[in-house]
């Protein structure tokens, strides 16, 4: 049998960062920040790889059209010319649903590559919102690429994300589509283009046969080596476009007989593609004057790359506390958001932290409700069942200290809880502030009041009053 050579390039969870940016790297001496990413440099890498092997697929796992000022302010429109110039073969979606599913479908109609999702259906119709897969003819092989979006869109996001749609369970949909690709479409090779997260993909691939390669997104894993699970090869490439993965496959009779894998850092030394660089500059040009305004300074690194706590979110929460006067504050544990190095803070930096700029909400919560909330959030992050991992990083918090045993059953992980410096009183009412409805479910607390002040308003106010900030780790969650 003749050997076929296929190369897959993966990009995932860019979160709108089409220009180069600061990125955190994990080093022996701690966190190090270097410039990385940028679509102009990614395009250079893609072109070089394609010159080595024309039988190359560029696949995008989603979380692309949301996450920065220019993406959210234009509902994804600003970066469409860039995306169409990259040579992408297929994508799936996640935060891209933020502007409503119907708007995402409109955006997809203007892309020159398909958005795929086998598990996203239109309400009241047995019809998918997007095509479940495409067939690519590559070097004489019929390659099926199936897309899989994440059910979190309908489980935990604001209602507009899932307006008019529902999502079927991934573990039910994947075997059905694999069967259709093999038996109806007679494909030689199957690629799962997934935004389910590495733990969920791993769990599914332990029992589902027929997927040859899983191109995984959502959980921002920087996989220096591919994972072999079942009969599949699983890859993932960090986030923000700071990394891409190159997977070179030797295929005989539809089976991988050898492969080479490389997680490539998109370093600042890589030459920029002139066309993409110009498109990125044109996308930002109308907004540069507003985004480049300096609003304050920081003495310390502000980053969001650790699970239990982050200096970036401590800055955000201290800003919220500053304008509301409430000592206990919560926000969602977002994984995206590029670091801010010591020095000046700009408006662009603030929007990279919270691009949706939600309004602050005040609520009264009993001590037992805060305990229930924290147990819920710990379970969403550290659930032993990957299908229950519906959060991001840990709930961000100030004004509390919880000593936790992660390995305990979900209702009993918190061994001791302090609120505002004192051991919590289950019947006491605490004044709480938070942003986004993900942070505190509606059934917890009472006397909710949505303020007119937004997260970015609060950070600007905090910076204006403080002049220069210095954030440290306060230890809201201590693992025993």
- 429-448 tens-digit pLDDT: 999 999 998 899 999 999 99
* pLDDT value, residue 427: 97
User: Rounded mean pLDDT of the chain?
Assistant: 96
Nearest CA to 329 out of 375, 368, 363, 377 is that of 363
Residue 190 forms beta bridges with which residues?
144
* pLDDT value, residue 411: 87
pLDDT at 4 over 80: yes
Instruction: Report the C-alpha gap between 238 and 94 in whole angstroms.
Output: 16
Nearest CA to 310 out of 330, 333, 327 is that of 333
Burial tier of 27 (Cβ tally within 10 Å: 0-12, 13-18, 19+): exposed
CA-CA-CA-CA dihedral for 425, 427, 432, 434, to nearest 10: 100
* pLDDT value, residue 437: 84
In the structure, what pLDDT confidence band is assigned to residue 295 with cuts at 50, 70 and 90?
A: very high
* pLDDT value, residue 419: 98
CB 315 within 8 A of CB 298: yes
Tokens 């894993």, residue located: 221
Instruction: Report the C-alpha gap between 60 and 90 in whole angstroms.
Output: 6
Q: What is the mean pLDDT of residues 266-294?
A: 98
pLDDT tens per residue across span 316-348: 999 999 999 999 999 999 999 999 999 999 999
Q: Which residues, including other chains, have CB under 8 Å from residue 315's CB and lie 6 or more apart?
A: 298, 302, 459, 462, 469, 471
pLDDT tens per residue across span 216-250: 999 999 999 999 999 999 999 999 999 999 999 99
* pLDDT value, residue 138: 96
pLDDT at 1 over 90: no
* pLDDT value, residue 246: 98
pLDDT tens per residue across span 178-219: 999 999 999 999 999 999 999 999 999 999 999 999 999 999
pLDDT at 124 over 80: no
Instruction: Report the C-alpha gap between 69 and 357 in whole angstroms.
Output: 10
* pLDDT value, residue 425: 98
Q: What is the mean pLDDT of residues 279-297?
A: 98
Strands, DSSP E only, in 139-242? 141-148, 165-167, 189-194, 213-216, 227-229, 232-235
């Amino acid at each position: 049998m003749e050997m076929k050579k296929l190369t897959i390039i993966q990009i995932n969870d860019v979160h709108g960062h089409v220009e180069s940016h600061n990125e955190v790297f994990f080093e022996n001496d701690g966190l190090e920040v270097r410039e990385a990413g940028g679509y102009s440099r990614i395009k250079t890498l893609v072109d070089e790889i394609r010159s080595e092997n024309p039988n190359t697929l560029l696949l995008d796992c989603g979380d692309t059209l949301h996450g920065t000022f220019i993406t959210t302010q234009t509902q994804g429109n600003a970066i469409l010319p860039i995306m169409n110039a990259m040579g992408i073969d297929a994508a799936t979606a996640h935060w891209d649903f933020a502007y409503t599913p119907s708007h995402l479908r409109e955006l997809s109609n203007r892309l020159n590559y398909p958005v795929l999702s086998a598990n996203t259906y239109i309400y009241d119709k047995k019809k998918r919102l997007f095509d479940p897969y495409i067939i690519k003819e590559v070097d004489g092989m019929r390659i099926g690429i199936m897309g899989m979006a994440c059910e979190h869109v309908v489980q935990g996001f604001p209602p507009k994300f899932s307006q008019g749609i529902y999502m079927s369970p991934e573990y039910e949909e994947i075997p059905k589509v694999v069967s259709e690709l093999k038996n109806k479409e007679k494909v030689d090779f199957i690629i799962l283009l997934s935004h389910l997260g590495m733990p969920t993909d791993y769990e599914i691939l332990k029992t589902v046969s027929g997927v040859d390669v899983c191109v995984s997104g959502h959980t921002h894993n920087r996989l220096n080596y591919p994972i072999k699970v079942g009969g599949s090869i699983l890859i993932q490439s960090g986030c923000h476009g700071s990394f891409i993965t190159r997977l070179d496959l030797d295929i005989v009779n539809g089976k991988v007989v050898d492969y080479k894998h490389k997680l490539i850092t998109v370093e600042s030394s890589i030459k920029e593609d002139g066309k993409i660089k110009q498109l990125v500059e044109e996308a930002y040009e109308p907004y540069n004057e507003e985004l480049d305004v300096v609003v304050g300074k920081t003495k310390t690194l502000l980053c969001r790359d650790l699970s239990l706590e982050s200096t970036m979110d401590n800055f955000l929460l201290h800003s919220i506390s500053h304008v509301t006067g409430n000592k206990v504050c919560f926000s969602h544990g977002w994984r995206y958001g590029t670091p801010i190095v010591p020095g000046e803070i700009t408006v662009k930096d603030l929007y990279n932290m919270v691009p949706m700029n939600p309004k602050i909400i005040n609520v009264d919560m009993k001590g037992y409700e805060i305990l229930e909330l924290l147990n819920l959030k710990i379970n969403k992050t550290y659930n032993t069942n990957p299908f229950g991992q519906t959060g991001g990083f840990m709930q961000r918090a100030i004004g509390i200290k919880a000593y936790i045993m992660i390995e305990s059953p979900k209702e009993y992980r918190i061994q001791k809880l302090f609120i505002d410096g004192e051991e919590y009183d289950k019947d006491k009412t605490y004044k709480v502030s938070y942003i986004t409805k993900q942070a505190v479910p509606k059934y917890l607390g009472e006397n909710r009041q949505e303020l007119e002040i937004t997260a970015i308003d609060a950070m600007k106010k905090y910076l204006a009053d403080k002049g220069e900030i210095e954030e440290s780790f306060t230890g809201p969650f201590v693992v025993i």
